[in-house]
Amino acid sequence: SKSDHKGIFRFYNDELYQSIRSKLDAEEELRYAIAKKQFFMVYQPRVDTRTGDIRGFEALVRWQHPTRGIVPPAQFIELAESTGSIVPLGSLVMDCVFRQIAAWQNMGETPVPISLNISPRQLDAGGVDQQIKDLMKRHKVSADLIEIELTESVMMSEVPAVIDQITAIRQMGIKLHLDDFGTGYSSLSRLQEIEMQVIKIDRAFVSRLGTSSQADVLVKTIVLMAKELDMSIIAEGVETIAQLETLQHLDCDEAQGYLIAKPVTAPEARKLLQQRRIF
């Protein structure tokens, strides 16, 4: 009957309404959280595969939610990217990291480079190079102490303004990491054109090490290629001793992952820094 149809129609409308409503709520909440600076950074070390010496830290953002506790980026980065909130959030992240480096310098710690993850949307919005330049000056942080992690999709960009920012950042003497290598669509020839200094092999490849000869060959080939291109190479997501030993055997420069250390708070990172090495 007519009223049944109406009922069904209303039901679907309510569902749609609820899903839009909850997305708007989440968006609003994230915007509020950014305004209130409810974020902090954790730092995950990467080490020399052979000696265990700390070669650097990767800065990773966390949301200190007032009721939900610590929220990992998997639960908000996508929303931040799709709504553009990643731009102010990214500024917050950069600010926090530069301030942290300056603080460690002032405490007299021998610093190691800290790498920052930059989203494509931040580069689309523009001015990332200038922002970094200003922060370096304000906090007296030299170019060798900051590194930038970009994914393949960013590196394959044809947008002149994006390429210009990446070029400017590189010309400041800041090292660029090609993050999540192997998961994107970069062609090997493009790898030669874009001057990146570091390749990070994605965890997907590292976790398959030792499970098949193909998996080992793949990583071996990536390591050899990186060496040919004069790039250094980091394996991410190293979780077992067997994986670490295979990486040593394959002459992979650096390793990062739960086996070595989980991401830690700034005070814990400082302690690691004083230790200088992890194994």
Residues in the chain: 279
CA angle 207, 211, 215 (to 5 degrees): 70
- Piece in contact with ligand C2E (CB under 6 A), picked from 7-15, 112-120, 167-175, 226-234: 112-120
Site for ligand C2E in 54-73 (CB under 6 A): 60-61, 72-73
Among 38, 40, 48, 77, binds ligand C2E (CB under 6 A): 77
**Residue 258 interacting partner from ligand C2E, Ca ion, none (CB closer than 5 to 8 Å by kind):** ligand C2E
Q: Which is nearer to ligand C2E, 77 or 125 (CB)?
A: 77
**Residue 225 interacting partner from ligand C2E, Ca ion, none (CB closer than 5 to 8 Å by kind):** none
Instruction: Supply φ then ψ for residue 86, to 5 degrees.
Output: -60, -25
Q: Which is nearer to ligand C2E, 45 or 136 (CB)?
A: 45
Among 85, 119, 243, 246, binds ligand C2E (CB under 6 A): 119
- Regarding 251 and contact with ligand C2E (CB under 6 A), the answer is no
Q: What is d(CA 265, CA 40) in angstroms, rounded to the nearest whole number?
A: 9
The residues that touch Ca ion, with contacts defined as CB under 5 A, are 117, 149, 179-180
Among 179, 252, 255, 273, binds ligand C2E (CB under 6 A): 179
**Residue 223 interacting partner from ligand C2E, Ca ion, none (CB closer than 5 to 8 Å by kind):** none
Helices 266-275 & 86-106, crossing angle to 10 degrees? Answer: 40
- Within 10 angstroms of residue 268's Cβ, the number of other Cβ atoms is 14
| Shortest-Cβ-distance residue relative to ligand C2E | 257
CB of 21 to Ca ion, least distance (A): 30
- Piece in contact with ligand C2E (CB under 6 A), picked from 5-13, 129-137, 220-228, 232-240: 232-240
Say how many CA atoms lie within 13 Å of 117 toward its Cβ. 20
Q: Are 114 and 59 in contact (CB under 8 A)?
A: yes
**Residue 251 interacting partner from ligand C2E, Ca ion, none (CB closer than 5 to 8 Å by kind):** none
Q: How far is CA 40 from CA 10, 36, 96, 238, in A?
A: 43, 12, 8, 24
SS3 24: helix
- Within 10 angstroms of residue 272's Cβ, the number of other Cβ atoms is 19
Q: What is d(CA 259, CA 209) in angstroms, rounded to the nearest whole number?
A: 14
Instruction: Supply φ then ψ for residue 24, to 5 degrees.
Output: -65, -40
Among 49, 85, 100, 117, binds ligand C2E (CB under 6 A): 117
Interface residues with ligand C2E (CB under 6 A)? 44, 60-61, 72-74, 77, 90, 93, 117-119, 179-180, 203, 237-239, 257-258, 263
